[in-house]
């Protein structure tokens, strides 16, 4: 197993990585030796995240772009490939959340959420695939969710639909790209105490429900997502393809 988790010499592009789960996944890849490109809409936030990683000796670059904008997203990815001559790992993690009762859910928010989560993953995977197939090696990882991938809750129909779509996309990419040495897998987090979930974490009633509903009895900590991303990006997962890895404290295993 020695060296199987090393990413030395590899280049990774991680969307939605200025904070939260995306930043933790990027950090794990950088700690394993990859040159990691952080992506997000807020250039200042990206630079703060990058500076913190560089202070720990990590090789990090930034690429500010809104992945819901196809031209901007593909241009950012193309620039990375042009600069480094390769792309080994793509983590499609960018996301937003809108919560409304179904009769009040605006169509424009539905479309924007699907564009951010699902369409961007398709667009970037399509672009990355050309480079990875030429290399005869690549790892595409998408951030799904227990919501949509296995279960659902009220007021988040767009989110659940997008995440279910990502699971289907994962399987489609796995079977099409696998013969060329490129694998595609999904990570499906449960309830993590991220900035996106701040309001839910601070809701005592909801937090009590999460703790009761999750077999390990607590919210996930952001640092608990990095190992899953590193595994799927590494040679240790060379025969793992089309898989959805639930990182949910047992939530989806329990009634």
Active-site positions? 159
Nearest to 187 by CA among 113, 118, 92: 92
Q: Count of CB atoms within 10 A of residue 121's CB?
A: 31
Instruction: DSSP for 123-138, please give it.
Output: HHHHHHHHHHHHHT-E
Distance CA 178, CA 173 (A): 8
- 104-106-112-114 Cα dihedral, nearest 10 degrees: 50
C-alpha angle 82/50/17, rounded to 5°? 80
Q: Which structure tokens are listed for 133?
A: 């197939």
Q: Count of CB atoms within 10 A of residue 6's CB?
A: 15
Map residue 39 onto helix, strand or coil: strand
Q: 102: phi > 0 → left, psi -120 to 50 → alpha, else beta; which?
A: alpha
Map residue 211 onto helix, strand or coil: helix
Map residue 241 onto helix, strand or coil: coil
């Amino acid at each position: 197993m020695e060296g199987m988790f090393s990413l030395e010499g590899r280049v990774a592009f991680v969307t939605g990585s200025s904070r939260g789960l995306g930043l933790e996944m990027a950090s794990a890849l950088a700690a394993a030796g990859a040159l990691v490109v952080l992506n997000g809409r807020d250039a200042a936030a990206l630079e703060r995240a990058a500076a913190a990683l560089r202070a720990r000796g990590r090789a990090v670059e930034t690429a500010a772009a809104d992945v819901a904008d196809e031209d901007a997203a593909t241009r950012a990815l193309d620039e990375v490939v042009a600069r480094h001559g390769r792309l080994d790992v793509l983590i499609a993690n960018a996301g937003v959340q809108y919560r409304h009762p179904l009769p009040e859910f605006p169509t424009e928010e539905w479309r924007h959420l699907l564009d951010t989560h699902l369409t961007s993953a398709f667009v970037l995977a399509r672009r990355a695939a050309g480079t990875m197939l030429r290399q005869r090696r690549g790892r595409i990882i998408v951030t799904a969710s227990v919501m949509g991938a296995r279960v659902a809750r009220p007021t988040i129909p767009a989110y659940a639909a997008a995440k279910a779509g990502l699971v289907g996309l994962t399987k489609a990419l796995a079977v099409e790209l696998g013969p060329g040495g490129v694998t595609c897998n999904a990570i499906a987090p449960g309830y993590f105490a991220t900035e996106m979930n701040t309001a839910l974490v601070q809701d005592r009633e909801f937090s009590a429900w999460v703790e009761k509903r999750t077999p390990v009895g607590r919210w996930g900590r952001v640092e608990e997502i990095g190992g899953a991303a590193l595994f799927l990006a590494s040679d240790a997962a060379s025969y793992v393809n089309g898989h959805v890895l639930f990182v949910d404290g047992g939530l989806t295993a329990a009634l």
